[in-house]
């Protein structure tokens, strides 16, 4: 049973527009959430994170929103750039989990010029 | 380059052979992790070290897999008697501050078992 779900395998967006990537989770013990970006044949690169005590965290063009009651988080990229084209993974961890991150299956973002 | 370093980047081996991967974490990081990623999936946790102590192992880590971190610096992941199902990307990650569980990945080691 998947504890972290990314229901959209792919997303295509025009350059300059907003990209919204979604993630749902089932485990109410999760208290920390992260987004990673991955290019082919490379390891995941950390993008942004959010603690469960917050509902929003912003870093430049990237903003993560957390809705604990809905067990849902989203990553907004504004404005989207062609270099943002990659697979984006949502991950979650529970308090005391010692770095055992639970990942979703990823969403492939394509930003078209 | 002060990121997480993994070697080799690619390995093709015949079924039944043993393979070993090496990971050098970010120098001041005392925590080191191994993950595995197969096609179409997200990374899956395998094991975790704090300094030289292996503190947690996933049930994915069968008895053919062994990981060590002898001096609390670099780590090795050995797979004995490889099977085709072991074909995957093996990712090493490290962290310093457990607060927030943000970990930083290396570029991965691709294993193909033929």
pLDDT in tens, B19-73: 999 999 998 888 999 999 999 999 999 999 998 988 888 888 889 999 999 988 9
Mean pLDDT of chain B: 91
* Calpha distance A45→A37 (Å, rounded): 5
Alpha-carbon gap: B89 to the closest alpha carbon of chain A (Å): 9
* Calpha distance B52→B39 (Å, rounded): 31
Query: Quick check: A58 pLDDT over 60?
Result: yes
* Calpha distance B42→B110 (Å, rounded): 15
Tokens coding A90: 């949502």
Alpha-carbon gap: A80 to the closest alpha carbon of chain B (Å): 23
Mean pLDDT of chain A: 95
Phi, psi (degrees; rounded to nearest 5) at A98: 60, 40
pLDDT at B28: 84
Tokens coding B15: 């079924």
Chain B CB contacts of A100 below 8 Å: 45, 48, 56, 58
Phi, psi (degrees; rounded to nearest 5) at A63: -135, 135
pLDDT at B77: 97
Query: Quick check: B98 pLDDT over 90?
Result: no
């Amino acid at each position: 049973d998947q504890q972290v779900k990314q229901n959209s395998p792919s997303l295509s967006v025009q350059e300059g527009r907003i990209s919204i990537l979604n993630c749902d989770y089932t485990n109410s013990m999760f208290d920390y959430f992260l987004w990673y970006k991955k290019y082919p044949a490379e390891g995941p690169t950390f993008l942004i994170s959010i603690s469960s005590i917050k509902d929003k965290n912003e870093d430049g063009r990237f903003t993560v929103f957390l809705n604990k009651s809905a067990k849902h988080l989203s990553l907004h990229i504004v404005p989207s750039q062609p270099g943002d084209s990659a697979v984006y993974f949502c991950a979650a961890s529970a308090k005391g989990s010692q770095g055992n991150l639970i990942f979703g299956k990823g969403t492939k973002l394509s930003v078209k010029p | 380059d002060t990121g997480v370093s993994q070697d080799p980047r690619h390995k093709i081996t015949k079924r039944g052979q043993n393979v070993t991967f090496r990971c050098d974490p970010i120098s001041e990081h005392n925590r080191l992790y191994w993950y595995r990623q197969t096609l179409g999936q997200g990374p899956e946790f395998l094991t975790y070290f704090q300094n030289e102590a292996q503190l947690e192992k996933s049930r994915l880590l069968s008895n053919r897999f062994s990981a060590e971190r002898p001096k609390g610096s670099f780590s090795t992941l050995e797979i004995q008697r490889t099977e085709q199902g072991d074909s995957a990307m093996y990712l090493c990650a490290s962290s310093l501050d457990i607060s927030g569980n943000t970990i930083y990945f290396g570029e991965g080691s691709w294993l193909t078992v033929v």
